[in-house]
Structure 1
């Protein structure tokens, strides 16, 4: 129970700062309305006017929570105004891109560790690829794929894979290289070949690093899926929800979609954490 208190204190601090920032940012509209009506408002009236605005600059936490409740609990899952519906669209692209990116990252890591040529050639390019802003490359990928008739889920999955493969490559390479020289020499004394060394030493040793990188990769994959929905003018998905909110100045809609994305990311990371504990416990690496 003691471990919960610091978390609650941090959350309370964030909410307090959020309310203070929202009041400060939303008072402008209240003062403008009062100036047009040629009325004088007290401090309490100005603060009160900052609450409940239809299109605030910064929504209050209670407004975001109310919007989340309305668009998740009070709406049917099949409704196009349901955040669960839009989250499902984004989640499908996220999982597809994550599967592609994680698989590619693992294969590249294995090649980099076992081939000096790949280490010298592929790794620098993998690092250089991450210097390109995703907002710049996403429209290019979509246009190129659309020109060859590839539309729908795959372009978004490709962008998700682009963001998710790099953490997996770095983490897996680090993990595969984690066994020390004494452990490698011990395998040589048993006349183990390279394949046996990989399956019995390098791969098990890499699992903690792999799962840590998968947590980062799946979160990055979700970001890629959301970003991929923006330049296409999509009408479905969390990115589309944010886009329409920005078009019509619905800041509450934007923030609720952002929180839904955070909830989805937390769920995915938590799921990988469960798989991590189960896998490492089976191997006797955790209690």
Structure 2
């Protein structure tokens, strides 16, 4: 109960601020309309109108909730107006990119830890790659892939992999290097080689670090998939919902897509966290 109260307090405070901001940002249109009609607007009428505008600057929470209900429960999942349909399109690219980025990140981390040349050469390039804004590199990837006749899921997955591999590299390198000198020396006294040391000591020790980086990577992968949908003028995916909402001034649609993306990201991070608890428990590690 004690842990629930602070969370509920923060949630209530956020809703109060959200509703207040909706009144403030949407009131200009209401007052302008009333001024043109030569009418006065009471505070209650102002609040009611700012919370029910068709195209508000900032939609009220209940408007976003109604849109979410309409585009999930009230639509078939095969409908192009269903957020579940668009969410699945984005999720597919997210998971594929996450798998590619995670695999590449782990391989690079193993090479960096066991090869000094890779540590001196690959790691700086991996760091430098993250200084390039994803909004700049995404259109380049899309254009190159299109010129090769590759469209749809794969280009978005590559962008997702680009964002997700770096946290995995950093976390895995830290984890593989986490065993202390005494532990490494102990294995040497047992005549263990690099391969045995990796499987018996370095890899198990890296698991907490790996899962922490995977939580960051899966969220970054989702961002990459959404960004990958923006430069293409896509008609499917959460990015497409954001695009169409911005084109037609449908701010409620934009916010519902944002909330759906946030829920999807939280769910993916939660799944990774659940796998982490199960894996570490079976390995006898305390979190």
Structure-2-length-normalised TM-score: 0.99
Matched, 1:124 2:124: yes
Match of 1:56 in 2: 56
Cα deviation code 1:4-60 (max 9, x no counterpart): 111111111111111111110000110111111121222232222211100000000
- Distance (whole Å) between structure 2 residues aligned to residue 42 and residue 210 of structure 1: 57
Matched, 1:94 2:94: yes
- Distance (whole Å) between structure 1 residues aligned to residue 273 and residue 127 of structure 2: 26
Question: Which of 252-261 and 39-48 deviates more?
Answer: 39-48
- Distance (whole Å) between structure 2 residues aligned to residue 21 and residue 284 of structure 1: 49
**Total equivalences in the alignment:** 287
CA contact (8 A) 1:230 1:240 kept: yes
TM alignment of 1:215-230, pairs within 5 A: 215-230=215-230
Match of 1:171 in 2: 171
Match of 1:85 in 2: 85
Match of 1:65 in 2: 65
Gaps of 5+ in 2: none
Superposed structure 1 runs of 4+ greater than 4 Å apart? none
Cα deviation code 1:201-223 (max 9, x no counterpart): 00000000000000000000000
CA contact (8 A) 1:15 1:61 kept: yes
Match of 2:283 in 1: 283
CA contact (8 A) 1:277 1:286 kept: no
CA contact (8 A) 1:97 1:221 kept: yes
Match of 1:265 in 2: 265
Match of 2:244 in 1: 244
Match of 1:6 in 2: 6
Cα deviation code 1:92-127 (max 9, x no counterpart): 000000000000000000000001100000000100
SS state at 2:253 partner: helix
SS state at 2:249 partner: coil
RMSD between superposed Cα atoms in Å: 0.8
Match of 1:75 in 2: 75
Question: Which of 37-46 and 61-70 deviates more?
Answer: 37-46
TM alignment of 1:121-200, pairs within 5 A: 121-200=121-200
- Distance (whole Å) between structure 2 residues aligned to residue 86 and residue 48 of structure 1: 32
